[in-house]
Chains A and B, each alone.
Chain A
């Protein structure tokens, strides 16, 4: 095929210099060696490749490659022909048993190895002494360390041991390795591997900081095991969404209770909570409801085959939560208006004023009666008891409690607000009593 058309792709035994097509490999080499002698240095590598090819061809006693090509061509066309026709299943043989035999042998080796390591790891971690010397002894009791006297090179990186490259031992298999080849397994991680139910503790005392020295092989096996463990505990999307939703519901129920209490207190004309407090609480409940709604919608829209139990489950979750929101969260009592509250408070205040008035009159009468009875004697006690207001510990404490209330209110801890308001009320009462007793 000559290079008549530039766009055509050239194929065949082409000379890399003049692009002539030389029919066979031996002809090409001959052509190249005779005509392009001078370029040989530049194309030395090319020649080498062809030389190799030539050798192979010669060994095969197949100097003329035309025949081979023909045969190959015929073969491929035949194959194409067969492929079009439908084939009947011939004699077949099951290789499953063979596969299983090979596989279980490999798995067995892997599993026993891993288990051996895990049992050792358990023993190591279980009663690990914190003292470094005792720890070393403990480690050697569990896993016998290889005698290193005849080991001159690190078996992993083949570098010679010397003063700076010390011999170390893998704590799980006892083999020797250098520091660069060792991997460290954190002790807390090790604990969770042998006992997955234990929650990892964030304690890191200095002695345990370094972890366990392992060789790469043991480390990989242990890590693999850990991965399997973690995968097993992975939550599905549905589960984690559901758990989130439940936790929101758990927050919502007491919030609603609190709201009802606060609302009632407003209607009763008490001054423990402000209208803005109750509104803030209402806003919080609204946010929770929104969150629950979103999550349940998300659960319902998870891709699932219709008609399966999971589809049913997802639907029921959505329905239950919609019901919950409607019944529990959106049926909140309406808040009284500012004017209503004012009115109720005013009435309450008036009642209280009247009560105080009556009380005062009663005390007044009593004192007059007493003064009549005792004559002049009462005057002696008149001078005492006019304490300085700033000095009074009760007033001081009232201010402290007011600060606490402000803080609790800011952080929406309304239960605490109620406790503190009650205390403030007690303090006021106590203060009034004190004043009264000072007067009389």
Chain B
């Protein structure tokens, strides 16, 4: 008799034994003009917070966040760079060896979009050829003051093979989605099981070690 009610359960329960999940680690870097909302995006993604008066970043901030996909756990090692020009020289250290980058611009400021295009160019020239680049048009809650059209940015992203989303760190719109889209696009091969980050570290280690010994 009571089983009738049980039939109304809409979702079947998962089997108890959790399957062995792969763990992948990726280095991700945020780039873009200052005050477009890079730190706010990261803060929203990692801690779910938003500060109206976010202080400007000095140098580069480091955060980690773990995402669970179907059968893999993706651990992001996030480098949030400062947008100010004087820190520009640091950026190559962080996009070098990164598997993913988010280039951020502010949809209410046409200049920041131009700057974002430059960042994309620089990444395409100097970063790893397999890097996954995402373009984020931030501050989409201020659509009334929009200066960069969605279609324009989308067309640019399509041309250059970038992931593209308009985001808002303030309302959390598309914030998790863009990180999730990146995680899905990243190759999750067996090699990276031990942490792609560590693999990259080893690569960097190798030449130095050999030069030391001989």
Contacts and interface: CB of A to CB of B under 8 A. Distances in A.
Q: Interface on chain A toward B: helix, strand, loop, or mixed SS?
A: helix
Contacts of B5: 114-115, 118-119, 194, 225
Contacts of B9: 194-197
B144 interface: no
A404 B59 CA distance: 13
A352 B211 CA distance: 9
Contact of A351 (B93, B197, B213): B213
20 contacts: A111-B2, A112-B1, A115-B2, A118-B5, A119-B4, A194-B8, A195-B10, A197-B9, A198-B11, A225-B5, A393-B59, A394-B89, A394-B90, A396-B59, A400-B61, A416-B64, A418-B198, A418-B201, A420-B62, A423-B93
A228 B5 CA distance: 13
B16 to A, nearest CB: 9
B87 A393 contact: yes
A419 interface: yes
A107 B195 CA distance: 58
A419 B197 contact: yes
Interface string A423-440: 100110010000000000
B195 to A, nearest CB: 8
Nearest to B205: A422
A68 interface: no
A114 B10 contact: no
Given A419-B77, A419-B197, A397 B8 contact: no
A128 B195 CA distance: 45
Contact of A119 (B8, B11, B58, B89): B8
Interface residues of A, number: 37
Contacts of A111: 1-2
B28 to A, nearest CB: 12
B211 to A, nearest CB: 7
Nearest to A359: B211
Interface in B170-214: 195, 197-198, 201, 204, 211-213
B201 A422 contact: yes
Nearest to B86: A393
Q: Which 7 A-B pairs have the closest CB atoms?
A: A397-B59, A111-B1, A118-B5, A197-B13, A400-B59, A393-B87, A122-B8
A197 B1 contact: no
Contacts of B195: 415
